Structure 1
């Protein structure tokens, strides 16, 4: 994980991992994917055997993939107007397959989308919806 942190070279990465460990008690699991969409190493965070999110490390940045499935769709769409316009656009632009949308959000250093990603994970993990994007 130290090598991945060095490669990403983005303080938000360490903040994100600490947030996931503290709030969801999840540990990162390194995996190699041959998927044609995003082949290579990724870091998966699972809670109770269910995927919370998958992170794709990139040099100086990382992307977080959050799946909005059938269980979360209604709650997420009800909260969607409270998300930043960038997240709303990503959601609209992402095609649905098997009742799911696989949202890929690129996070850079001190990214304003970070709070929205955290809210998406809340919906994914527990179904709770925090309508405000104000920092905790």
Structure 2
């Protein structure tokens, strides 16, 4: 957990206004649909910040921030993988490619980045 959570000004300085707007829209969509615990952490070697959405002790998705870049990770369980496979053609080729190239542990973790 972070000692100091970054404020809007710090996040905008890090990722830029347009990516911070995307960050906020993603958060708003998740918050609107799900009731989850949110945790700020250090982003490890590749990222400056990690913002996790958790429920029942499990991470369901996370947003990542570094200079001029945001990332989004979705963890898919068995049921979600079956749904994806069934509806595969309704997703873009880019999303299908990311899904196919994602290493599976206890469930695929698909990460999308934009800069």
Same fold by TM (over 0.5)?
yes
Q: What is the rounded CA distance, in whole Å, between the counterparts of 1:64 and 1:58 in structure 2?
A: 12
Change (3 A) 1:27 1:14: farther
Compute the RMSD of aligned alpha carbons.
2.3
Change (3 A) 1:14 1:42: same
TM-score (norm: length of structure 1): 0.64
The answer on 1:14 being equivalent to 2:24 is: yes
Counterpart of 1:25 in structure 2 is 35
TM-score (norm: length of structure 2): 0.73
Counting only pairs closer than 5 Å after superposition, residues 56-71 of structure 1 correspond to structure 2 as 56-71=64-79
Q: Is contact 2:47–2:64 with CA below 8 Å preserved after alignment? A: no
Deviations 1:34-68 (A, max 9, x none): 4x6x4653110123433220111122331111112
1:95 aligns with one of 99, 103, 107: 103
Structure 2 unpaired stretches of 5+? 1-5
Structure 1 unpaired stretches of 5+? 109-136
Structure 1: 4+ residue segments shifted above 6 A: none
Q: What is the rounded CA distance, in whole Å, between the counterparts of 2:69 and 2:49 in structure 1?
A: 14
1:105 aligns with one of 80, 92, 112: 112
Classify the secondary structure of the residue corresponding to 2:110. strand
